[in-house]
Amino acid sequence: MAETAPRIRRIIDRQLCSADYSDYVAERIETGSYARPSSDARNRYDRCYAAAENGSDGSTYRESIDDIRDYFRAYLAGKARRRPFGAGYARIETAIDDHCDGLIQWFTRRGDIDAVIG
């Protein structure tokens, strides 16, 4: 069990650096262009579009953490459909939720959970 946590962290790190994750986030942001004006998705799209002109991100920390959590839920669901892995996926999902919850707590304590990433 002691070596499980480092293995899961490697899985998380590898996926967050993948083109698949980058494409997932880009698609989530892009779909905001079709959203109702003044909606959260449209506001994010507008912020990210404006920030990109300066080479910045434009998402908030909360949005980025939600992207991580949602990406892994979709990623693991797809993996489970193709190749059942039993409790292994549940351990990974729990580790990701714990990681994301910790990030939210940390940014909330700092007072910038809804700050825009520069």
Q: Give tens-digit pLDDT for 58-73.
A: 999 999 999 999 999 8
Q: Does residue 118 lie within any of the structural domains?
A: no
Q: Cα–Cα distance between 12 and 100 in angstroms, integer?
A: 11
Q: Does residue 55 lie within any of the structural domains?
A: yes
Q: Give tens-digit pLDDT for 76-98.
A: 888 766 776 666 778 888 888 98
Per the structure, the complete domain to which residue 24 belongs is given by: 4-110
Q: Does residue 116 lie within any of the structural domains?
A: no
Q: Does residue 117 lie within any of the structural domains?
A: no
Short-list 67, 88, 77, CA closest to 24: 67
> Domain total for the chain?
1
The b/e string for 5-33 (b: 16+ C-beta within 10 A; e otherwise) is eeebeebbeebeeeeebeebbeebbeebe
Q: Does residue 115 lie within any of the structural domains?
A: no
Q: What kind and span of H or E run contains 42?
A: helix 40-52
